[in-house]
């Protein structure tokens, strides 16, 4: 890299708009959306989609609720042309879906594009030419005047052929390609030149697409450019102003959101931001950003995993694990403090007392996108007791008392740290079972009977201690008190029950009940034990033995 980048690069000239309005506006409704997955997204793939893959992705886009879909560049190749014809001849587009096709301002390409559209119900013919200083100088070697002529000629060739599409509802779209790198005054001139040919009206508007073809400045500059055009262009009420951002500076989403604040009506983009270079704008993210503010995005991503699957299969691209809303890890917390906060937040949400979603670290309810709470908390060495307890509870219905979580959390954490990887709920349950349930030495239960008389409970316990039979009786207010008493008569150092809880285990578990008991020895460490049994009384006896065995 250069020590002095200013020797090679220069700042982007700002738009003069001192009374800009967009910074103090708020988004209140969804724009109209146009998916360009099958065109811009497709033309960026190392191996473009075949007709079958395009058809599958088209169906998915329709299912998501897109009403405008740029289906391709029919004059560019036979595959593109055939795809268009199949969509039309097999009537694959629902009545309310517009098929959009892209074409350059060249007569033979416009001719072929019209051939591809015969018989369609609703089409958007999307004409474009590039206008930025670099494109004018390097690619076309044309003056501004000549560039305007390209646009006007193209518009006229389209206009001349419209009668061929009698019976088809047609909307026209013009893209000032490389708009964001073009002087705003010249972009306006190009758009107005095309408008002079197409003569849009408020009743029959045309789409004016203002692409951020390459992000060359911050999203605030794009917003200024959009607001400037909206305020200065003739016949604004005859236009649908459309945004088409790419993501070179990684601010395609921001540019689009600010562009909407600046007055745009429509957004073009792709699922998960596939597209040239760093991609097109990611429509899923913008739509769900609206959704998380309570605005109906008018797109449905209820089963986002299924949409990801189709997308990955058709495009050969992958959705990265940290991709907003869709990535595998975006609703997952490994860190202990995050897990704890999420666990508490979800517990509060489940009480139904909170009207609005406000769970720490989760901007949106994963369930709304078909994601499960079980993937929210995953356990590795960064995790704490909360995550461990959450998995045991959610996957196995094992509800550890708070204080016991404090004991078992570090035990599990040490084991997970030793393994050096993420662990599953099943592995955690295994650790819990080994630590508490499966301990049979020195004490092992052989039999335990109780009888109640005169408000007292008497017990008879048959045990093995280091394999040797031990029998004793005891008396108390309940079976546990009787057991504790019995142990004292058998010469076991005195202890008392400091904590007790029990609950039924979920169906399918090998035992019906689990008991948790904390014992407090007169001369030793306070510790927990746990026991499972089909009989709740025996589960608690086993829990006492488990605690004694953990001395």
* Per-residue CA distances from 439 to 157, 312, 470, 544 (Å): 85, 48, 18, 11
* Cβ nearer to ligand KIV, comparing 37 with 40: 40
Chosen residue from 113, 175, 180, 540 binding ligand KIV by CB under 6 A: 175
The DSSP annotation for 4-49 comes to -GGGT--PPPPP--TT--GGG----S--EEEE-IIIIIHHTSSS--
What is the separation of C-alpha 421 from the centre of its chain, rounded to a whole number of angstroms?
Answer: 24
Chosen residue from 177, 407, 502, 537 binding ligand KIV by CB under 6 A: 177
Shortest distance (Å) from residue 116 CB to Zn ion: 20
Of 37-66, which residues contact Zn ion (CB under 5 A)? 40
* Cβ nearer to Zn ion, comparing 279 with 384: 279
Q: What are 50's two structure tokens?
A: 């075949």
| Residue 527 binds which entry of Zn ion, ligand KIV, none, CB below 5-8 Å type-dependent | none
Q: Judged by CB under 6 A, does residue 222 bind ligand KIV?
A: no
Contact region with ligand KIV (CB under 6 A), list: 206-214, 259-267, 288-296, 428-436: 206-214
Angle formed by the axes of helices 78-89 and 107-117, nearest 10°: 30
Are 110 and 161 in contact, with CB atoms under 8 Å apart? Answer: yes
SS3 assignment, position 293: coil
* Pairing status of strand 443-453 against strand 456-465: antiparallel
* Cβ nearer to Zn ion, comparing 272 with 373: 272
* Cβ nearer to Zn ion, comparing 40 with 215: 40
Spatial distance between the Cα atoms of 151 and 131, rounded to a whole number of angstroms: 9
| Residue 128 binds which entry of Zn ion, ligand KIV, none, CB below 5-8 Å type-dependent | ligand KIV
Shortest distance (Å) from residue 416 CB to ligand KIV: 47
* Cβ nearer to Zn ion, comparing 214 with 310: 214
Are 92 and 69 in contact, with CB atoms under 8 Å apart? Answer: no
Q: Judged by CB under 6 A, does residue 37 bind ligand KIV?
A: no
DSSP conformational letter for 492: P
Q: What are 160's two structure tokens?
A: 């001349």
Q: Judged by CB under 6 A, does residue 209 bind ligand KIV?
A: yes
What is the separation of C-alpha 121 from the centre of its chain, rounded to a whole number of angstroms?
Answer: 34
* Cβ nearer to Zn ion, comparing 91 with 250: 250
Contact region with ligand KIV (CB under 6 A), list: 49-57, 209-217, 307-315, 454-462: 209-217
Contact region with ligand KIV (CB under 6 A), list: 208-216, 247-255, 371-379, 445-453: 208-216
Chosen residue from 244, 266, 343, 458 binding ligand KIV by CB under 6 A: 244
| Residue 175 binds which entry of ligand KIV, Zn ion, none, CB below 5-8 Å type-dependent | ligand KIV
Burial class (CB in 10 A: 0-12, 13-18, 19+), 298: middle
Of 39-78, which residues contact ligand KIV (CB under 6 A)? 40
Q: What are 428's two structure tokens?
A: 């955690």
Shortest distance (Å) from residue 73 CB to ligand KIV: 9
| 388-419 per-residue burial string, b: 16 or more CB within 10 A, e: under 16 | bbbbbebebebbbbeebbebbbebbbebbeee
Spatial distance between the Cα atoms of 311 and 430, rounded to a whole number of angstroms: 38
Chosen residue from 200, 211, 409, 479 binding ligand KIV by CB under 6 A: 211
Convert residues 111-140 into a mask of x (bound to ligand KIV by CB under 6 A) and - (unbound).
Answer: -----------------x------------
Burial class (CB in 10 A: 0-12, 13-18, 19+), 141: exposed
Using CB under 5 A, list all residues that contact Zn ion: 40
Could you list the residues that contact ligand KIV (CB under 6 A)?
Answer: 40, 102, 128, 175, 177, 209, 211, 213, 244, 246
């Amino acid at each position: 890299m250069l020590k002095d980048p200013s020797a090679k690069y220069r700042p982007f000239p700002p738009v003069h708009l001192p009374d800009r309005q967009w910074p103090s506006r708020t988004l209140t409704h969804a724009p109209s959306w146009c998916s360009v997955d099958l065109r811009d997204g497709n033309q960026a793939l190392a191996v473009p989609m075949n007709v079958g893959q395009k058809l599958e992705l088209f169906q998915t886009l329709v299912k998501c609720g897109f009403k405008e879909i740029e289906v391709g560049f029919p004059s560019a190749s036979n595959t593109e042309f055939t795809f268009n014809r199949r969509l039309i001849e097999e009537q694959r587009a629902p009545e309310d879906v517009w098929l959009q096709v892209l074409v350059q301002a060249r007569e033979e390409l416009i001719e072929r594009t019209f051939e591809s559209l015969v018989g369609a119900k609703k089409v958007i013919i999307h004409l474009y030419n590039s206008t930025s200083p670099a494109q004018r100088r390097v690619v076309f070697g044309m003056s501004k005047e000549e560039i305007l002529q390209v646009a006007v000629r193209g518009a006229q060739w389209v206009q001349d052929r419209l009668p061929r599409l009698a019976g088809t509802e047609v909307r026209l779209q013009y893209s000032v390609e490389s708009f964001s790198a073009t002087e705003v005054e010249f972009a306006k001139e190009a758009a107005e030149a095309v408008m002079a040919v197409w003569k849009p009206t408020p009743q029959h508007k045309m789409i004016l697409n203002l692409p951020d073809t390459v992000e060359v400045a911050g999203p605030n500059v794009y917003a200024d450019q959009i607001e400037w055009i909206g305020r200065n262009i003739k016949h604004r009420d005859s236009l649908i102003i459309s945004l088409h951002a790419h993501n070179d500076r990684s601010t395609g989403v921001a540019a689009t959101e600010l562009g909407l604040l600046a007055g745009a009506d429509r957004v073009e983009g792709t699922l998960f931001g596939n597209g040239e270079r760093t991609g097109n704008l990611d429509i899923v993210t913008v739509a769900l950003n609206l959704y998380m503010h309570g605005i109906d995005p008018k797109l449905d991503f209820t089963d986002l995993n299924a949409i990801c699957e189709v997308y990955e299969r058709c495009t050969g691209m992958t959705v990265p694990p940290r991709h907003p809303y869709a990535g595998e890890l975006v609703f997952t917390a490994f860190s202990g403090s995050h897990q704890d906060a999420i666990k508490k937040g979800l517990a509060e949400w489940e009480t139904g007392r909170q009207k609005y979603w406000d769970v720490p670290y989760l901007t949106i309810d994963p369930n709304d996108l078909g994601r499960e709470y079980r993937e929210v908390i995953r356990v590795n060495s960064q995790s704490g007791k909360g995550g461990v307890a959450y998995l045991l509870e959610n996957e196995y219905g094992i509800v550890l008392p708070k204080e016991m979580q404090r004991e078992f959390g570090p035990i599990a954490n040490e084991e997970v740290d030793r393994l050096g990887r993420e662990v599953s709920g099943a592995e955690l349950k295994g650790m819990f079972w080994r630590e508490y349930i499966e301990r049979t030495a020195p004490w092992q239960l052989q039999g335990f009977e109780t009888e109640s008389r005169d408000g007292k409970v008497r017990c008879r316990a048959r045990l093995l201690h280091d394999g040797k039979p031990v029998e004793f009786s005891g008396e108390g207010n309940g079976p546990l008190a009787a057991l504790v008493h019995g142990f004292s008569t058998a010469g076991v150092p005195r202890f008392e029950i400091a904590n007790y809880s029990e609950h039924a285990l979920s169906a399918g578990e090998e035992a019906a009940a689990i008991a948790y008991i904390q014992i407090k020895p007169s001369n030793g460490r306070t510790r927990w034990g746990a026991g499972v049994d089909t009989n709740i009384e025996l589960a608690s006896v086993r829990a006492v033995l488990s605690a004694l065995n953990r001395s």
